[in-house]
Amino acid sequence: MAVEIKLESLSGEQSEGVIGTIHKTIGDNINSDEVLFDIESNKGNTAVTPKIKGTIKSLDLQVGDTVKIGDVLAVIEEAEVNEEKSVQVQNDIKEEKKESPTEKSVASTSQKQMLQSDITVIGGGPGGYVAAIQAAKLGAKVVLVEKEFLGGTCLNWGCIPTKALVRSSEVYNDLKSAEEYGLSAEGVSVDMKKVIQRKNSIVNQLVNGIKYLMDKNNITVVKGFGSLIDKETVLVQSEDQDIRIQSKHIIIATGSESSNLPIEGIELPNVITSKEALDLDTLPERLVIVGGGVIGIEFAFIYAALGVQVSVIEFLDSILAPCDEDVCNEISQIAEENGIQLYTSSRVESIAESEDDQCIVTFTKDNTTKYITADKVLMAVGRKPVYNGMNIEKLNLKINEKTRGIEVNEYMQTNIPNIYAIGDATNIIQLAHVASHQGIVAVKNILGKETKMSYTAVPSAIFTQPEIAMVGICEKAAKKEGIDVEIGKFPFAANGKALTLGESKGFVKIIKEKASGKVIGGTIIGPHATDLIAEITLAINNELTVEQIAETIHAHPTTAESIHEAVLASEGGALHFAE
C-alpha cells in the first residue's frame, strides 16, 4: 500500500523550513526510524522519519526546497509483515551448556539477531549518548542500547523539562510584576496544559536532535533492556525481539532513579515523584515537598511562582545543606518571601488520605507532632543508581559499598578491564555534565588516549529564583580542611545590569587560597548565576590567580562585572561597593 509521508511538525513549532539533507533516494528501502530528511528552520533542525517500513516510490524534493506543515514529502510503498521479517538480520546463536534465566529467554525465540561492535554503550542519557558520539568520531563502531528514550532522565524527566517549567514560571512572575517596569498586563493567568505542551515540544525537539546525531555518526541504536551475558556480550530484550551484541568494550551508563523513604502512605495515588510532577496539567492548590535538596527546592520555586501554596519538609537543619551558610540563609529568606513555608530539622512520619482525597502529612519538629494537608505530596529525597537486572553480580562487577554505585578508577574503568561505567550509575557526582565528561574520558581511554577524570572544577547549577551556582571548594569545606583562604564578596544590589533586570538579590563569592593567590572556589546566587559560573570554573581548572582575573577587562554593563568586583574584594576591596 502506498503511503504519503507528510511534514507533521518542525522544531520550535515553526510552520515552514528548508530541506537541508536528503538521506534516501527513490527505490531505497527504509525502516520506520531511519531519517529520511533533515529540515532546517529558524528554531533548529528537524529529523523526519517515515514511521513506516517500506520502499521509497516518490521523492520529488531537492536540497534547498522550502516545505510547509502538511506538505507531502515522499510516497512509500509499505512493506508487508512477512517482508519485514525477511529483511531482518538473522543468525542462529549456539546455545551454551549452562544458561542463565536471561539467556533462556533468548533461546526460546526462533529468530535471533547478532550485532558486532567495538564499543557498546548501555544507556542513552547525557553520559551514554555523548560517549557514543565521541567514540564514533574517533573511528569506533558503536552500538547504543536504550530501554526508553534517548536523552535519558536528564532530557526527558529532569534537567530540560524542569527548566522549561522554570522559564514559564519566570515569565508569569514578570507579567504579574509588569507595573514595576512601567508596563501594564491584565488578565494574566496560567494555562498549565499549554505549559506542559511547551515543555513537551522542547523535549521532543531535543530528542529528535539526538536521533539525528546518532544517524549522522553512524551509531546503531538498539531499543530494549540491556544486560550482560559475559564481559564481551550484551543481551538486549524488548517486546518483539532479543538481540545479542558481541563487543570488545562495554560502557555502562544506566543512570539513576528516584529514591523513596520507608514512610507509611508513600504508595498513595497523590504521592508523586519528580517524574509525575513534570506532567501535572492541573495545578494543585497546595503542595507538600518532602526533601529540601536541589530537586525539592527547584520544584518549590516553580510551583510557588505559579500560585501554589508550597510547604517543604527537610530533615536537615537547612535547605540546600551542601551550600555555605550565607547562601542557605539568602535563599531561605527569598523562599519565604515567595510564600514557600520551610520546615527544617523535621521528619515526616506518615502520609494518610482524607475522605476528600487530600493528603495528611504527619511530621515532627522540635519533638512536636505537626500536620499539613495538601492535594499532592512530592517525594524529592534524592536518587539512587540503576543497574538491577543487568547480571553484574554474575560477572563480579564491583560495587562501592559506601555509595552503592559501580566502582571505577580515574579512567572510568571497572574491576573488569574492558567494562567501563559512567554517570549516575557510578554515583560519584549525579550531574548530567559530569556524566558527559566521564563518557568522553572513558572512550578516550578505551581507544588508547590515556585521560584521567578530575572532579576539581565541577560546576553545580540550581535553578531557583534567583539561580545558585557553585564550583570548587566552598568556604565551610575550606575551613574544615584547614586551608587558609581569603573571601571576596560582591552584592548584585551594587551591579547596574542586575538593577535594570529588577533582580538585585544575591551575591558573588570568590574563595582565594591565601598562599598562592589562586581561585579555588566560587559561589554565585543571583541573576544568570548558572551561566556566570563558567568563568570561575575556567579559572579553577587553569589554576588562575585572582590577580589574573582582576586584570581581565569585563564588559559593562553586565552581571559578569560582579565576578570582577568579587575578585577585587578578595584583594583588598571592591571598587563599586563599600561595607
Supply the residues annotated as catalytic: 556
- Whose cell is 568556604? That residue is 475
Residue-wise DSSP of 493-525: GG-HHHHHHT----EEEEEEETTT-BEEEEEEE
Q: Check if the beta carbon of residue 169 is closer than 8 Å to that of residue 465.
A: yes
Residue pair 351/263 in contact by the 8 Å Cβ criterion: yes
Residue tagged 572556589 (cell numbers): 521
Nearest by Cα to 146 from 237, 213, 253, 223: 223
Question: Is the sign of the CA dihedral 553, 557, 558, 564 positive or negative?
Answer: positive
DSSP string of 262-309, one letter each residue: --BTTTSTTEE-HHHHTT--S--SEEEEE--SHHHHHHHHHHHHTT-E
Residue with cell 501554596: 309
Q: Which three cell numbers stand for residue 149?
A: 528514550
Q: How many helical (H) and strand (E) elements, i.e. helices and strands, does the chain have?
A: 15, 30
Q: SS3 for 384?
A: strand
- The total of other beta-carbon atoms located within 10 Å of residue 515's CB is 9
Q: Residues near 152 by Cβ (< 8 Å), separated by ≥ 6? A: 123, 124, 125, 126, 127, 128, 129, 146, 255
State how far the alpha carbon of 154 is from the alpha carbons of 31, 129, 318, in Å: 28, 12, 26
Do residues 85 and 104 lie in contact, with contact meaning Cβ atoms separated by under 8 Å? no
Largest CA distance in the chain: 80
Is cis: bond before 50, omega within 30 of 0?
Answer: no
Pairs from 308-312 (Cβ < 8 Å, separation ≥ 24): 308/283, 308/284, 309/285, 309/339, 309/341, 310/286, 310/339, 310/340, 310/341, 311/286, 311/287, 311/340, 311/341, 311/342, 311/343, 311/372, 311/374, 312/288, 312/340, 312/341, 312/342, 312/343
Three cell numbers, residue 232: 564481551
List Cβ neighbours of 233 (8 Å cut-off, separation of 6 or more): 244, 245, 246, 247
**Alpha-carbon span 34 to 22, nearest angstrom:** 12
